């Protein structure tokens, strides 16, 4: 089935991104926007706009009924959920199928399986992928027994979620009871699923993921990405390909990702995430993200692919358009996320109205944003406001271009993480090679990051 009219059930930079690709492909777009987003940049880019519901996401972007009703009322024949919100919702995928709508993503069955981290771990193990020691726990006694077995420290993780929510690090046995309660409560509130599991904690680990495309019969990969620069399990800087990865380990990991997706007979765009233990030279399966990723531009920059276009083609039921040997990866790309958060106040959200927004342009520079002067950054939604992506012939050139791009970027009127981003990208440690998932926290704690000339955590709110 050819998609002629697509309902974009999302907002911000990803909604703008989807609208641009659809315009190039000749697909009409309808933006399903909350009350707060009716005059947003994505609303200007879409062919039509429909009111999805009130500003609060529970009544708009997180409402399956509202999304399906909007698609039906506007004559759309497909729904793209972007990332976040309902992107991994089996309920939305099922509702679309019942109404004869194309859901741009994998099947409801795959979403149900992959959204359950415990079941996904089990299925990965069946496919021969290495998984960290651990398992689901229901009682404190069970958790204590399992932590004794696998050894401290351990991570308590939500079985039904991701994005760092419902996750707690336990270094000592006495911390386990509190961590279980907090993680379970947070998981219930965020995912309506209080189940948790334990997993062995890897010190100084790297977060590396593999981009996949599958049509149900075959799977190809478009290389890997390193997403180790994280704060509270939220990615801040990503790059492709993953630097300083031993060739044999990288080949094995990419092959494992493809093998798992083939095992599932996976059809759509997806990402398999791994934890790499550089001390042991090993990797472990973490999870599958069955959707477009925030960091997909770095893969596009080194592969030349339009991953959204490929995702739409797969949703139409077409076979893969490329064989593995036809996907050529050249050069290096780095992405930096800019958030409306105030590092000087503990990274608290910083909503407000943008007074001025200036973004760089030039060779090897790509900007993904929905900001312009006068844009309101609302308190109801994720704080991501822009992504700066640069590419070069090699990693050093990509980082050099990113430094220049960040220096020329201006966002005024709201507090952002731009100052921190500049410090991170300018650091010798990042330039020297791969860093681990705890590096950013150590960097900030040491006062290494500068916000307009002041150390992180000092002074009043920093604008831009």
CATH number of the domain bearing residue 28: 3.40.50.20
In a domain, 461, yes or no: no
Which tokens in the block code for residue 234?
């939220």
The answer to whether residues 252 and 185 belong to one domain is no
**Structure confidence at residue 164 (pLDDT):** 76
Domain holding 331: CATH number?
3.30.470.20
Q: Write down the pLDDT at residue 422.
A: 97
- Determine the pLDDT at residue 126: 97
Give the pLDDT score at 448.
Answer: 67
Indicate if 213 and 286 belong to the same structural domain. Answer: yes
Residues contacting 90, CB < 8 A, separation 6+: 108, 109, 111, 112, 115
**Residues 249 and 381 reside in one and the same domain:** yes
Joined together, the tokens standing for residue 229 give: 């620069």
Q: What is the pLDDT of residue 450?
A: 54
Domain housing 57: 5-104
Decide which of 200, 223, 250 is a domain's last residue: 200
Among 334, 250, 262, CA closest to 298: 334
291 is catalytic: yes
Domain assignment present for 273:
yes
Residues 332 and 218 in one domain: yes
Q: How far is CA 277 from CA 127, 128, 206, 406, in A?
A: 21, 18, 7, 31
* Shared-domain flag, residues 246 and 372: yes
Q: What is the pLDDT of residue 456?
A: 39
Give the largest Cα separation in the chain, rounded: 59
Domain count, the chain: 3
SS3 248: helix
Select which of 200, 206, 254, 291 is catalytic. Answer: 291
Judge if 249 and 391 occupy the same domain: yes
Residue spans of the chain under pLDDT 50: 452-464
Question: What is the bridge-based pairing of β-strands 5-8 and 28-34?
Answer: parallel
């Amino acid at each position: 089935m050819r998609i002629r009219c697509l309902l974009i059930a999302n907002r911000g930079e990803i909604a703008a991104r989807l609208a641009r690709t659809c315009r190039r492909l000749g697909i009409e777009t309808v933006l399903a926007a909350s009350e707060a987003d009716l005059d947003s940049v994505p609303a200007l880019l879409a062919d039509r706009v429909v009111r999805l519901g009130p500003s609060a996401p529970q009544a708009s972007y997180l409402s399956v009924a509202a999304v399906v009703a909007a698609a039906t009322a506007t004559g759309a024949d497909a729904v793209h959920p972007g990332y976040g919100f309902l992107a991994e919702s089996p309920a939305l995928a099922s509702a679309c199928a019942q109404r004869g709508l194309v859901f741009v993503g994998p099947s409801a069955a795959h979403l149900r399986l992959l959204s359950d981290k415990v079941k996904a771990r089990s299925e990965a193990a069946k496919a021969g992928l290495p998984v960290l020691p651990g398992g689901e726990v229901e009682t404190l006694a069970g958790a204590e027994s399992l932590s004794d077995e696998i050894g401290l420290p351990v991570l308590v993780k939500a079985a039904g979620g991701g994005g760092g929510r419902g996750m707690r690090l336990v270094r000592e046995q006495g911390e386990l009871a509190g961590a279980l309660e907090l993680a379970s409560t947070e998981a219930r509130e965020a995912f309506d699923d209080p189940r948790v599991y334990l997993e062995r904690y890897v010190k100084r680990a790297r977060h590396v993921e593999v981009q996949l495309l599958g049509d149900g019969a075959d799977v190809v990969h478009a290389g890997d990405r390193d997403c180790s620069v994280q704060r509270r399990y939220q990615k801040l800087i990503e790059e492709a390909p993953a630097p300083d990865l031993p060739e044999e380990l990288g080949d094995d990991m990419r092959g494992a990702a493809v093998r798992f997706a083939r095992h599932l007979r996976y059809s759509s765009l997806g990402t398999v995430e791994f934890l790499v233990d550089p001390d042991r030279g090993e990797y472990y399966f973490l999870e599958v993200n069955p959707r477009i990723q925030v960091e997909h531009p770095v893969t596009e920059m080194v592969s030349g692919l339009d991953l959204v276009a490929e995702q739409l083609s797969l949703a139409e039921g077409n076979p893969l358009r490329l064989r593995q040997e036809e996907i050529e990866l050249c050069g290096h790309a780095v992405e930096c996320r800019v958030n409306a958060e105030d590092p000087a106040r503990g990274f608290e959200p910083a909503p407000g109205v943008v007074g001025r927004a200036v973004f760089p342009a030039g060779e090897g520079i790509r900007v993904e944003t929905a900001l312009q002067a006068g844009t309101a950054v609302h308190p109801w939604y994720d704080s991501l406001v822009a992504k700066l992506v640069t590419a070069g012939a090699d990693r050093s050139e990509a980082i050099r271009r990113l430094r220049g791009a960040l220096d020329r970027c201006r966002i005024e009127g709201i507090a952002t993480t731009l100052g921190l981003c500049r410090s991170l990208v300018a650091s010798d440690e990042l330039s020297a090679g791969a860093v681990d998932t705890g590096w950013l926290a150590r960097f900030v704690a040491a006062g290494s990051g500068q916000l307009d000339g002041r150390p992180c955590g000092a002074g009043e709110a920093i604008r831009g």
